[in-house]
Amino acid sequence: MIFFVASRGLGLLRDVVISHQFGTSRALDAYFAAFNIPDFIFNVVAGGALGSAFIPTFAAALAQNDSRRAWRLASSIITLAFILLTAISAVLAIFAPQVAAATVAQGFASEDQMLTADLMRWMLITPIVFGVSGIVMGILNAHQHFVLPALAPVFYNAAIIAGAWFLAPTMGVYGLVAGVVAGAFLHLLIQVPWFFQKRLETRDLRLEIPSVQSLISSLQSPDVGQVVRLMLPRTFGLAAVQINFLVNTMLASALPAGGIAALSYAWRLMLLPVGVVGQSLATAVFPTFSAQTARKELDDFQLTFSVAFRTTLYLTIPAAVGLLVLGAPFIAVLFQRGEFTAQSTAETVWALQFYAIALFAHSGLEIVTRAFYALHDTMTPVIIGIGAMVLNVVLSIVLISPLAQGGLALANSIATILEMLTLLVILRRRLGSFDQHRIALSVARIVIASIIMGAVLIVFKNTFAASGAILLAIVGAAIGAVVYFAVTLIFRSEEIALVLARVKRKA
């Protein structure tokens, strides 16, 4: 979690530097639009889909003390992912102008469409690199090693910051793209030493040569077949999620210049606590889920889920309230300088307040979906995810007219909350119980404490409205944290007891 915090902190600094250089300009709209296509390819083909299928199979082989089998599986998956991603990226690079004009840059003028296509071509290198890096990350996580995978995004964000700060003044938005490509390679290279060290321990340093024969041999492996079977449903589910982003970008491209940029800033700011809390906890707990499933330890699985889910809600519900009340001063302090004007702040806040409503659901989904993956059920989250995608698209079309980018954010929030609640109901039926009574009691305490915190923050904000954004953001955040901590302490929340016990053991 420490490195997730560092990564998200650098991600925030990255956005501060980008906002200073580009504000909410049309060039930045083109960058964010172009980024969507490589991001779509990686996430659908080799991102969460491959990780959610690969880690349980790889961890099962390790649990059976068959490290050679596990590493043969890893080599096969790396080979397949590299070839597939290279082929897809090459085809998209060739037809980049047509792809941009038909999708993410649909509402742009022709010159902006060409800029989007050119940026996309350069960034199509990144899915290939991230595909290999993602598998290496899964291998490290399966060995209960989380430091280097959590450190890799730190290097990625640092490279983007360098590109935006040093290259953008002379290269424009292309300097930003250079930082993205360099960061992808650093993301992989930081994990390579540990990867080869582990292979040395298993005395298996052979690297599979990408050939037709090796591909056929890999596809015939039972473990690879298991990964593919688990991956395909998840791929469709992730495609549904990514289609939401594409549709949002297509719709936002018809808004005035800066609409896509404002939506992206708001989304990334909302994802800051999601990454620090939801993703870090889910990453750490997923191998444990998988191992408990392999050993048929259902009671331990239920307890692990309960603790992880309650801890996630304990940290994210008050964060959502804090963003709702203090979103405007936060954005002003972080971004409002250089090319990022007061109008840019207002446009970003408008989207952020609607995104913040579902912050807890985005984080909770990270835990809930991994519980399904560990149970070797990738189909259920896919079916529910597709339903959420359809709802999101319909609501986006309905709400964009009256609410602009805020309507797109609200549509996403409504769909995400319903998706998480539906999956929770299904998981309870699947497990019989996941300690839902204790979870419900915890949620009640968390909500009451968050409401009290929010009320105090509203009074503080109204009282010191003329004191400036820095005071409101920094002092307000500190007051909110103290109030929330104190109220949950009075309520004897179990989650705070877990944190205090952990600190005591470390001391």
d(CA 305, CA 285): 8
- Are residues 129 and 270 part of one domain? no
d(CA 281, CA 370): 11
- Are residues 424 and 386 part of one domain? yes
Count of beta carbons in the 10 Å neighbourhood of residue 365: 26
Chain centre distance of CA 301: 24
Residue 337 lies in a domain: yes
Helix then strand then coil, % of the chain, to nearest 5: 85, 0, 15
Q: Measuring CA to CA, which residue among 317, 270, 289, 321 is closest to residue 443?
A: 317
Return all residues near 318 (Cβ < 8 A) that are at least 6 apart: 446, 449, 450, 453, 480, 484
Read off the pLDDT band of 205 (50, 70, 90).
very low
- Are residues 320 and 223 part of one domain? no
Range of the domain at 451: 258-507
Listed residues 231, 247, 280: the one ending a domain:
231
Residue 492 lies in a domain: yes
The answer on pLDDT for 115 being more than 70 is yes
Identify which has the larger pLDDT, 236 or 281: 281
| Mean pLDDT (whole number) for 169-183 | 96
The answer on pLDDT for 158 being more than 60 is yes
- 34-48, 167-181, 303-317, 392-406: which range is least confident on average? 34-48
| Mean pLDDT (whole number) for 400-429 | 96
- Could you tell me if 488 and 496 are in contact, meaning their C-beta atoms sit under 8 angstroms apart? yes
| Mean pLDDT (whole number) for 345-373 | 95
- 278-292, 345-359, 394-408, 480-494: which range is least confident on average? 278-292
The answer on pLDDT for 497 being more than 90 is no
Helix, strand or coil, per DSSP, at residue 474: helix
Per-residue confidence (pLDDT) for residue 488, from 0 to 100: 93
| Mean pLDDT (whole number) for 24-50 | 87
| Mean pLDDT (whole number) for 339-350 | 94
d(CA 31, CA 180): 11
Helix, strand or coil, per DSSP, at residue 258: coil
- Could you tell me if 407 and 399 are in contact, meaning their C-beta atoms sit under 8 angstroms apart? yes
Residue 236 lies in a domain: no
- Could you tell me if 54 and 138 are in contact, meaning their C-beta atoms sit under 8 angstroms apart? yes
- Are residues 421 and 351 part of one domain? yes
Per-residue confidence (pLDDT) for residue 202, from 0 to 100: 63
Chain centre distance of CA 346: 25
Distance set, CA 267 to CA 9, 84, 141, 274 (Å) = 15, 30, 27, 11
The answer on pLDDT for 353 being more than 90 is yes
pLDDT tens by residue, 449-473? 999 999 999 999 999 988 889 999 9
Distance set, CA 254 to CA 120, 250, 325, 392 (Å) = 19, 7, 29, 18
Residue 249 lies in a domain: no
- Could you tell me if 378 and 234 are in contact, meaning their C-beta atoms sit under 8 angstroms apart? yes
d(CA 258, CA 244): 19
pLDDT tens by residue, 432-443? 888 888 999 999
| Mean pLDDT (whole number) for 368-382 | 89
- Are residues 334 and 225 part of one domain? no
Q: Going along 202-320, which residue ranges are E strands? A: none
- Are residues 440 and 487 part of one domain? yes
The answer on pLDDT for 296 being more than 90 is no
Buried/exposed 19-44: b ≥16 CB within 10 Å, e otherwise: bbbbbbbbbbbbbbbbbbbbbbbbbb
pLDDT tens by residue, 50-60? 666 788 888 88
- Are residues 134 and 267 part of one domain? no
The answer on pLDDT for 506 being more than 60 is no
Per-residue confidence (pLDDT) for residue 336, from 0 to 100: 94
Give me the number of domains the chain comprises. 2
210: left (phi over 0), alpha (psi -120 to 50) or beta: beta
Residue 19 lies in a domain: no
Identify which has the larger pLDDT, 170 or 224: 170
The answer on pLDDT for 167 being more than 70 is yes
Highest mean pLDDT among 241-255, 285-299, 478-492: 478-492
- Are residues 337 and 206 part of one domain? no
| Mean pLDDT (whole number) for 216-235 | 77
Output phi, psi for 64, to 5 deg.
-90, 10
- 77-91, 209-223, 310-324: which range is least confident on average? 209-223
d(CA 114, CA 133): 30
The contacts found for 428-432 with CB under 8 angstroms, 24 or more apart, are: 430/375, 430/377, 431/298, 431/301, 431/302
Token representation of residue 405: 């980018």
Per-residue confidence (pLDDT) for residue 59, from 0 to 100: 82
- Are residues 290 and 211 part of one domain? no
- Are residues 461 and 425 part of one domain? yes
- Are residues 321 and 182 part of one domain? no
Return all residues near 169 (Cβ < 8 A) that are at least 6 apart: 21, 175
- Are residues 420 and 319 part of one domain? yes
Highest mean pLDDT among 37-51, 246-260, 404-418: 404-418
Residue 151 lies in a domain: yes
Residue 72 lies in a domain: yes
Residue 4 lies in a domain: no
Alpha-carbon radius of gyration of the chain:
23
Listed residues 231, 248, 274: the one ending a domain:
231
The answer on pLDDT for 310 being more than 90 is yes
